[in-house]
């Protein structure tokens, strides 16, 4: 397969589309669509450093026999260089591709960007029968060259997207709890309120304050207070996902934004949250939570406010009411 002008144009087009991708998932979709016009079958495997596994993030053509495998199952990764196999006649297949026994050529290209291993490109292309040895060698070399060019282009784009997502996470996430931070949550609440107004739907807000956090810090140490805040943040992040949003508002304050929730729905979810936290604290891994209770305030738009500031003000007023009534309870805004 010669590296024709057509394939070069397709490669350039893929590069443009990859550069226009906002997320890694979007880029994986581009790879699957555009690589099918360069090679009849193949896959891009992203590297999961935590699990030390290669996982097929984008595939095209005939599905790979192994979608998840260890890096040790690829000879290219072991040798840190491209590994070319010319069908069944030449070359030793990688263990992960050993079941692909046909007359197609294949190449594995390990992808290292800025010295970091990010994944593997595995592509398969036909070997034309009846070719003279010189032409066969030329086509094999062209296929290898095209795969190397594609791997370089894909690798650089994906690594840059990883950097972008990491920077975005740093700017929107609270470093201690992993929840969205106050600035991003305020912006998100404004957007949700505008959307709810157009659709004539409510937005519930649940504001939480950890009771006696100052006393906990003085009695058990700042480390205990910090672990309580962190544990609560992780708990909220696990239980409020999708369209619901959980964020850290202040040092010991948290907020839930519940699009589409009526006042009764929001109040019931706040009560359930308080009860679930008590059960959460019974586990030995979360025993520090036994020292903590929550004062919770509930408000809903447009009943308690049409703007983000008014709604949060109403929810915080309900928290103060909960503290005045004895803490460890849920109160609804007046």
Structural domains of the chain, count: 2
Residues in contact with 86: Cβ distance below 8 Å, sequence separation at least 6, in sequence order? 105, 127, 140
C-alpha 147/C-alpha 60 separation (Å) is: 14
- Does a structural domain hold residue 39? yes
Token readout for 226 is 């910090």
Shared-domain flag, residues 136 and 164: yes
Shared-domain flag, residues 262 and 322: yes
- Does a structural domain hold residue 177? no
Among the candidates 172, 207, 241, a domain finishes at 172
C-alpha 77/C-alpha 205 separation (Å) is: 50
Among the candidates 107, 141, 172, a domain finishes at 172
| Nearest in space to 174 (alpha carbons), one of 162, 182, 165 | 182
DSSP character at residue 296: E
- Does a structural domain hold residue 269? yes
C-alpha 129/C-alpha 87 separation (Å) is: 11
- What is the enclosing helix (H) or strand (E) of 54? strand 53-60
Shared-domain flag, residues 145 and 187: no
Predicted confidence at residue 325, as pLDDT, reads: 95
Residues in contact with 109: Cβ distance below 8 Å, sequence separation at least 6, in sequence order? 76, 82, 120, 121, 122, 123, 147, 148, 151
β-bridge partners, 105:
86, 125
Shared-domain flag, residues 323 and 240: yes
Predicted confidence at residue 196, as pLDDT, reads: 94
| CATH classification of the domain holding 100 | 3.30.450.40
- The number of CA neighbours under 13 Å toward the Cβ of 290 is 7
Shared-domain flag, residues 225 and 163: no
Contact 32, 111 (CB under 8 A): no
- Does a structural domain hold residue 65? yes
| Nearest in space to 140 (alpha carbons), one of 100, 195, 85, 61 | 85
C-alpha 315/C-alpha 45 separation (Å) is: 47
Token readout for 65 is 């026999």
Predicted confidence at residue 138, as pLDDT, reads: 67
Q: How many CB atoms lie within 10 A of CB 147?
A: 26
46 CA to centre of own chain = 13
What residues make up the domain containing 191? Answer: 182-332
Shared-domain flag, residues 201 and 283: yes
Shared-domain flag, residues 138 and 95: yes
Q: Per-residue pLDDT tens, the chain, 334 aa: give them.
A: 555 788 889 999 999 999 999 899 999 999 999 999 999 999 999 999 989 999 999 999 988 888 999 999 999 999 999 999 886 567 788 999 877 666 678 899 999 998 899 999 999 987 655 555 555 566 677 888 999 999 999 999 999 998 887 776 667 888 899 899 998 899 899 999 999 999 999 999 999 999 999 989 899 899 999 999 999 999 999 888 888 999 999 989 999 999 999 999 999 999 999 989 888 888 878 888 888 899 999 999 999 999 999 999 999 999 999 999 999 999 999 9
Buried b (16+ CB within 10 A) or exposed e, 292-312: bbbbbbbbbbeebbeebeebb
Q: Is the dihedral of CA 192, 194, 200, 206 positive or negative?
A: positive
Shared-domain flag, residues 16 and 113: yes
- Does a structural domain hold residue 56? yes
- Alpha-helical segments (H) within 24-132: 24-35, 75-79
| CATH classification of the domain holding 230 | 3.30.70.270
Reported residue count of the chain is: 334
pTM comes to 0.59
Shared-domain flag, residues 138 and 231: no
| Nearest in space to 197 (alpha carbons), one of 53, 301, 334, 85 | 301
Shared-domain flag, residues 186 and 112: no
C-alpha 223/C-alpha 287 separation (Å) is: 14
- Does a structural domain hold residue 145? yes
Shared-domain flag, residues 43 and 163: yes
Among the candidates 137, 172, 207, a domain finishes at 172
- Does a structural domain hold residue 49? yes
Shared-domain flag, residues 77 and 164: yes
């Amino acid at each position: 397969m010669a590296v024709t002008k057509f394939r070069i144009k397709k490669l350039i087009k893929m590069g443009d589309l990859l550069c226009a991708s906002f997320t890694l998932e979007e880029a994986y979709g581009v790879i699957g669509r555009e690589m099918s016009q360069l090679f009849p079958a193949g896959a891009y495997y992203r590297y999961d450093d935590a699990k030390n596994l290669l996982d097929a993030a984008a595939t095209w053509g005939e599905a790979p026999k192994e979608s998840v495998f260890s890096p040790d199952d690829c000879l290219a990764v072991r040798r840190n260089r491209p590994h070319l196999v010319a069908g069944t006649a030449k070359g030793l297949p990688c263990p992960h591709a050993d079941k692909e026994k046909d007359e197609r050529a294949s190449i594995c290209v390990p992808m290292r960007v800025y010295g970091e291993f990010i994944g593997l490109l595995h592509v398969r292309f036909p070997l034309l029968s009846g070719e003279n040895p010189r032409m066969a060698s030329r086509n094999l070399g062209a296929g290898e060259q095209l795969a190397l060019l594609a791997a370089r282009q894909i690798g650089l784009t994906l690594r840059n997207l990883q950097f972008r997502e990491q920077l975005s996470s740093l700017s929107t996430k609270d470093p201690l709890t992993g929840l969205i931070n106050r600035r991003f949550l305020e912006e998100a609440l404004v957007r949700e309120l505008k959307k709810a107004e157009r659709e004539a739907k409510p937005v519930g807000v649940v504001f939480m304050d950890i009771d006696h956090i100052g006393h906990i810090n003085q009695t058990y140490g700042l480390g205990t207070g910090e672990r309580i805040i962190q544990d609560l943040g992780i708990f909220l992040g696990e239980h409020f996902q999708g369209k619901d949003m959980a964020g850290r508002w202040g040092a010991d304050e948290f907020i839930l934004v519940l699009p589409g929730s009526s006042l009764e729905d929001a109040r019931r979810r706040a009560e359930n949250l308080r009860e679930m936290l008590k059960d959460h604290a019974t586990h030995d891994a979360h025993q520090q939570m036994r020292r903590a209770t929550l004062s919770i305030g509930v408000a809903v738009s447009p009943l308690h406010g049409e703007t983000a500031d008014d709604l949060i003000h109403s929810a915080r007023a309900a928290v103060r009411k909960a503290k005045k009534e004895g803490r460890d309870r849920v109160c609804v805004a007046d």
